[in-house]
């Protein structure tokens, strides 16, 4: 095995080996995936083998990635991989297990796409091994000190590869068009456990060496790794929870219905094809509510509310086992095929397990977020299910539109064709396209074949075009309603009209979603009114992070000075972007608020994931 070459040795490595032919990298508009440099028309990865050492002291991963390739073009002599901020020391290429050193070049760095790694491939070579190390600022990795974890005894590392962050810790074809199996050998400090989006063994001894295998082909953004002080609790024959030892019992209680959800998913959409479904509860700095890494969903602790009111997140990430993991968007412009389908499935699962009322609350909140976002989005194509992301960071294009508009479109199809028909249609879609990456055009063709041709006149081409391509929501969109929220409306109006003091409102049994709706639908309030609400309901002291986020946003919107310290503390404790970005954007609406937002961000920056840092910095720059 090659010893890893330090950056100083790069020049020698670049100059050695066979002479490289020059390659002109096509611009984004010419590539099959505008967010990847990979020349998939010549080579496609079929397997990835990782051998990595986890160095917490230097905050780097160091080792090798070996790619087994399909030669699409037998004459191709150049392989192009995606990287971002990787120190590449040496590259070998060959076939039949016989690899030899080969020439490579790193192209200039693009701030979004990173650097193309251009590798000379000898005749017939179908395997390449890259020796490399990550850099501490890798956008797909977060390194936490012991003080930043729940137990405060051990450090923790976790990855976040979606959308194009896998290239910051693995040199590979970082496009959802390419699916590969993978294996890994991970070396860690002996008192820590490594887990991956693969076949984890909760009984594996803390030996410092872990081996993993993912036998199903997955896209690069679903490759995931975490290392830390992790305990495990089973929640069913195929389900369980990994978390910090001080958190794992509460998490297992919160998610005890996971196995039941999995059974309902299978009843609706066909067999679960991934073996186990486990959850990993990460620290509050995790930038998302959840990430659907196959076999091991990564989740934020903000979903542990104590009353199961936020477990729809588990339903959402589990549904991705069909829409996203099994059938994957081929480019990030097609992400509604992942998220819209998943959001629709989420509401169906919640309805099956917890009842229609719970699902309707979810549907209403999703629709309200969509209406608010559509009012703020500047680009018309970003309001559609077919945005143009060429030349843009795919993270910037991710809004509530592919989730909520995509879900409402499927709800519309359900209303037109009937629920049993749509359930059968989706089941057929997942099974007929299993382990494939698809485009919106593929879905349209399947829709024509399976529904529109079978039941002519139910859905017109104009109606289909309106849902997919037009910025305005279709005139016949059916916006969901909730009886539970109607009851909230009655109580809110009684208080606003001065008929009932806040402390006397009938709020017994309200869910997190009802409280969120109550806070969000309040008009402009005086400091005295905010005082009364906080005295009655203790919003500023709640440990429910969802309710807290909506309360602090209301305080900021009303310039409620008493909340300043609470807002700042909250922003230092929570890293989930859905919860903190509205607060930063609200502060940034005024010059004084923008200055304050920059000060608060500077204070807490190092507690945020790199993806969250980037999002906050862009939001504050736009507001300046």
SS3 annotation, 136-171? CCCCCEEEECHHHCCCCCCCEEEECCCCCCHHHCCC
Active site residue 403: yes
Closest CA to 177 of 204, 217, 207, 144: 217
Closest CA to 225 of 259, 190, 254, 183: 183
C-alpha to C-alpha distance for 68 and 49, rounded to whole angstroms: 8
Closest CA to 252 of 201, 308, 197: 308
Cβ contacts of 573 within 8 Å, gap of 6 or more: 284
Q: Please state whether 94 falls in left (phi above 0), alpha (psi between -120 and 50) or beta.
A: left
C-alpha to C-alpha distance for 60 and 135, rounded to whole angstroms: 6
Active site residue 449: no
**Considering 292, 317, 351, 414, which one is annotated as catalytic?**
317
Q: Are 553 and 522 in contact (CB under 8 A)?
A: no
Burial class (CB in 10 A: 0-12, 13-18, 19+), 32: middle
Angle, helix 440-447 to helix 419-432, in steps of 10 degrees = 130
Q: What is the DSSP string of 27-56?
A: PGGGSSSTT----TTTEEEEEEEEEEEEET
How many other C-beta atoms can be found within 10 angstroms of the C-beta atom of residue 155? 20
Cβ contacts of 98 within 8 Å, gap of 6 or more: none
**Considering 37, 242, 403, 517, which one is annotated as catalytic?**
403
Active site members: 317, 403
């Amino acid at each position: 095995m090659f010893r890893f070459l330090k950056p100083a040795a790069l020049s020698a490595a670049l100059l050695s080996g066979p002479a490289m032919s020059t390659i002109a990298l096509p611009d984004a508009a010419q590539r099959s995936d505008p967010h990847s440099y990979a020349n998939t028309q010549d080579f496609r990865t079929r397997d990835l083998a990782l051998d990595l050492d986890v160095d917490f002291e230097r905050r780097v991963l160091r080792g090798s990635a070996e790619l087994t390739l399909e030669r699409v073009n037998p004459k191709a002599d150049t392989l192009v991989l995606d990287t971002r901020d990787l120190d590449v020391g040496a590259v070998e290429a060959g076939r039949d297990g016989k690899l030899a050193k080969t020439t490579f070049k790193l192209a200039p760095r693009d701030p979004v796409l990173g650097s193309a790694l251009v590798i000379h491939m000898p005749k017939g070579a179908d395997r390449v091994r890259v020796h490399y190390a990550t850099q501490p600022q890798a956008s797909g990795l977060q390194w936490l000190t012991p003080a930043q974890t729940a137990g405060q005894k051990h450090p923790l590392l976790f990855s976040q590869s979606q959308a194009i962050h896998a290239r910051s810790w693995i040199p590979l074809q970082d496009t959802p068009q390419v699916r590969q199996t993978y294996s890994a050998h991970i070396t860690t400090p002996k008192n820590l456990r490594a887990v991956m989006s693969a076949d984890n063994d909760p009984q594996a001894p803390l030996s410092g060496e872990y081996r993993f295998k993912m036998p199903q082909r997955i896209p690069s953004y679903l490759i995931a790794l975490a290392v830390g002080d992790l305990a495990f609790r089973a929640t069913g024959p195929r389900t369980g929870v990994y978390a910090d030892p001080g958190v794992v019992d509460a998490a297992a209680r919160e998610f005890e219905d996971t196995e039941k959800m999995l059974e309902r998913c299978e009843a609706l959409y066909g067999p679960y094809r991934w073996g186990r479904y486990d959850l990993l509860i990460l620290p509050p700095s995790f930038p998302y509510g959840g990430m659907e890494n196959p076999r091991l969903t990564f989740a934020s602790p903000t979903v542990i509310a104590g009353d199961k009111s936020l477990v729809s997140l588990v339903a959402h990430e589990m549904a991705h086992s069909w829409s996203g993991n099994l059938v994957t968007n081929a480019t990030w412009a097609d992400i509604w095929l992942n998220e819209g389908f998943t959001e629709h499935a989420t509401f169906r699962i919640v309805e099956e397990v917890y009842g229609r009322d719970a699902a309707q609350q979810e549907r209403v909140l999703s629709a309200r977020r969509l209406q608010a976002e559509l009012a703020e989005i500047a680009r018309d194509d970003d309001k559609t299910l077919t945005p143009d992301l060429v030349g843009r960071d795919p993270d910037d294009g991710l809004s509530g539109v592919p989730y909520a508009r995509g879900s409402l479109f499927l709800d519309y199809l359900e209303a037109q064709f009937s629920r049993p028909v749509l359930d059968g249609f989706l089941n057929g879609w997942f099974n007929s396209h299993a382990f494939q990456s698809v485009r919106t055009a593929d879905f349209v063709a399947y829709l024509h074949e399976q529904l529109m041709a079978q039941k002519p006149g139910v859905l017109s081409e104009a109606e289909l075009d309106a849902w997919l391509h037009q910025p305005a929501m279709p005139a016949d969109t059916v916006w969901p309603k909730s009886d539970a929220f109607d009851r909230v409306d009655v109580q809110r109006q009684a208080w606003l009209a001065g008929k009932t003091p806040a402390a006397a409102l009938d709020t017994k049994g309200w869910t997190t979603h009802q409280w969120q709706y109550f806070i969000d639908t309040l008009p402009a309030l005086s400091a005295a009114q905010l005082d009364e609400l906080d005295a009655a309901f203790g919003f500023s002291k709640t440990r429910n992070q969802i309710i807290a986020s909506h309360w602090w946003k209301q305080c900021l919107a009303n310039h409620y000075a008493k909340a300043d310290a609470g807002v700042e503390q909250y922003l230092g404790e929570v890293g989930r972007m859905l919860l903190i970005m509205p607060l930063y954007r609200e502060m940034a609406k005024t010059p004084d608020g923008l200055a304050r937002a920059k000060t608060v961000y500077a204070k807490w920056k190092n507690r945020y994931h790199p993806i969250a840092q980037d999002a906050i910095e862009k939001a504050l720059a736009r507001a300046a």
